[in-house]
């Protein structure tokens, strides 16, 4: 079968499958077509028919062909590009369902992890930035001091955050919610699917529109009150390199990227009882009430970390540039942090502005 005939056969099959006209499908028409999409659609057909053995055979052929040819339609031609260009995430999600129904739990988990990995290959909005300046308001604790000592940033599972509405992930990925959604109620596939979300971790920062130095951020009284132990904590000024804020694809199926929070207007409702939600919706969407925070999130996906927290080392081109101590920060805390970081870092103390007591000013120390 030539490429044009293959294109026509696959397109007809695709249209009927999307319309759920599975009884009208003739899977034999795809048998002589050796391309990623043909194998994927045959696997989908057998999965719907609950013939998981045949579905497994076809999806493994599709996985073997992923990335062939490259994603350049001009070089290979539009038809060949169509035949082979199939979204990795939908292939691995289907594979996860198939393996789960065959009782191959570990393979199912692995495929669902790859599904998540390919789902977050998104535009962070900061690809053109050479670096990013971000601010982190912290209370004094073993964890915050450990980050300073190790010159690292700790990301955590969204389920460990104080506000249950801080990330829609917690609500959408809840087992009861997923069971109520027919598409995700995949029987044996539900547990490994939900498990794949456990490897997402986030860290919250504050940044202006251009992610550059901005003293206005440090002067925000509400941020000190809410996130720095009532002005007794400190604020870290980071400069993160381009390589750090957007890790490229890698063989470990781990990913790290920066995303600005999208604040949802009050009048716009957001439902969680839907079949799918993208990564931006799950991890970078908040109520408009929090817009004053100008939040930017570092989102990590790393299946090698089973813990709720992951400490990520800063690279050579990233650094802590300054520490701002809260107005009520104790002297012993200031001394401890200066001993940890040394004199390569700039140190400042927040002070009361006597000309305006509702405004903070920054004093170099």
**154 occurs within a structural domain:** yes
Do residue 253 and residue 330 come from a single domain? yes
Do residue 49 and residue 170 come from a single domain? no
- The least confident of 79-83, 157-161, 217-221 is 79-83
Do residue 18 and residue 146 come from a single domain? no
d(CA 162, CA 156): 12
Most trustworthy range by pLDDT among 21-30, 61-70, 142-151, 246-255: 142-151
DSSP run (H or E) holding 218: helix 215-218
DSSP state of 274: S
**Who wins on pLDDT, 355 or 239?**
239
Contact between residue 295 and residue 222 where contact means Cβ atoms under 8 Å apart: no
The tens digit of pLDDT for each residue in 150-193 reads: 999 999 988 777 666 666 666 676 677 777 665 555 567 788 88
Do residue 139 and residue 82 come from a single domain? no
Do residue 162 and residue 84 come from a single domain? no
Q: How far apart are the first and last CA of the chain?
A: 76
Instruction: Please give the distance of CA 279 from its chain centroid, rounded to a whole number.
Output: 6
Do residue 191 and residue 312 come from a single domain? yes
Quote the pLDDT of residue 305: 94
**274 occurs within a structural domain:** yes
Do residue 104 and residue 140 come from a single domain? no
Quote the pLDDT of residue 324: 99
Residue 81 has pLDDT above 60, yes or no: no
**Who wins on pLDDT, 320 or 70?**
320
Do residue 292 and residue 176 come from a single domain? yes
- The least confident of 119-123, 310-314, 318-322 is 119-123
Q: Is the pTM of this model over 0.75?
A: yes
Please give the average per-residue pLDDT across 315-327, as a whole number: 97
Q: Which of 119, 147, 165 is the last residue of a domain?
A: 119
| Residue numbers of the domain that contains 139 | 131-364
Quote the pLDDT of residue 267: 45
Q: How far is CA 231 from CA 139, 143, 325, in A?
A: 9, 18, 8
Residue 77 has pLDDT above 90, yes or no: no
Quote the pLDDT of residue 74: 41
Q: Which residues pair with 201 in a beta bridge?
A: 300
Give the DSSP letter string of 59-112: HHHHHHTTT-S-S-HHHH-HHHHHHH---HHHHHHHHHHHHHHTT-HHHHHHHH
Percent of the chain with pLDDT over 70: 79
The tens digit of pLDDT for each residue in 281-309 reads: 777 777 777 788 889 999 899 999 999 99
* Mean pLDDT (the chain, rounded): 84
**How many domains does one find in the chain?**
2
Most trustworthy range by pLDDT among 167-176, 201-210, 268-277: 201-210
CATH of the domain at 27: 1.25.40.10
Do residue 162 and residue 15 come from a single domain? no
Do residue 194 and residue 81 come from a single domain? no
d(CA 111, CA 11): 26
Quote the pLDDT of residue 204: 93
């Amino acid at each position: 079968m030539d490429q044009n005939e293959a294109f026509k056969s696959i397109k007809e099959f695709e249209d009927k499958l999307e319309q759920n006209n599975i009884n009208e499908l003739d899977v034999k028409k795809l048998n002589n077509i050796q391309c990623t999409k043909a194998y994927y659609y045959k696997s989908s057909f057998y999965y719907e028919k609950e013939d998981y053995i045949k579905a497994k055979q076809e999806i493994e052929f599709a996985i073997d062909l992923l990335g062939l040819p490259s994603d350049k339609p001009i070089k290979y031609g539009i038809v060949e590009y169509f035949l082979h260009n199939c979204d990795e995430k939908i292939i691995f999600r289907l594979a996860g369902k198939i393996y789960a129904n065959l009782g191959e739990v570990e393979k199912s988990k692995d495929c669902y992890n790859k599904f998540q990995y390919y789902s977050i290959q998104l535009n962070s909005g900061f690809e053109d930035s050479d670096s990013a300046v971000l601010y982190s308001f912290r209370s004094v604790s073993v964890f915050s001091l450990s980050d300073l000592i190790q010159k690292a940033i700790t990301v955590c599972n969204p389920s460990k955050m104080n506000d249950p509405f801080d990330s829609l992930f917690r609500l959408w990925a809840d087992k009861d919610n997923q069971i109520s959604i027919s598409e995700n109620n995949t029987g044996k596939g539900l547990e490994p699917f939900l498990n794949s979300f456990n490897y997402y971790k986030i860290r919250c920062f504050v940044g202006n529109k251009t992610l550059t130095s901005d003293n206005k951020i440090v002067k925000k009284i509400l941020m000190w009150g809410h996130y720095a132990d009532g002005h007794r904590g400190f604020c870290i000024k980071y400069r993160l390199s381009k390589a750090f804020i957007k890790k490229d694809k890698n063989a470990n199926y781990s990913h790290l990227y920066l995303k600005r929070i999208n604040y949802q207007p009050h009048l716009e409702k957001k439902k969680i009882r839907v079949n799918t939600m993208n990564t931006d919706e799950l991890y970078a969407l908040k109520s408009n009430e929090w817009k004053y925070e100008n939040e930017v999130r570092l989102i990590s996906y790393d299946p090698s970390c089973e813990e709720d927290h992951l400490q990520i080392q800063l690279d050579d081109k990233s650094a802590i540039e300054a520490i701002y101590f809260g107005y009520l920060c104790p002297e012993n805390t200031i001394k401890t942090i200066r001993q940890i970081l040394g004199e390569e870092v700039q140190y400042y103390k927040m002070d009361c502005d006597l000309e305006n007591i509702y405004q903070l000013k920054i004093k170099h120390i």
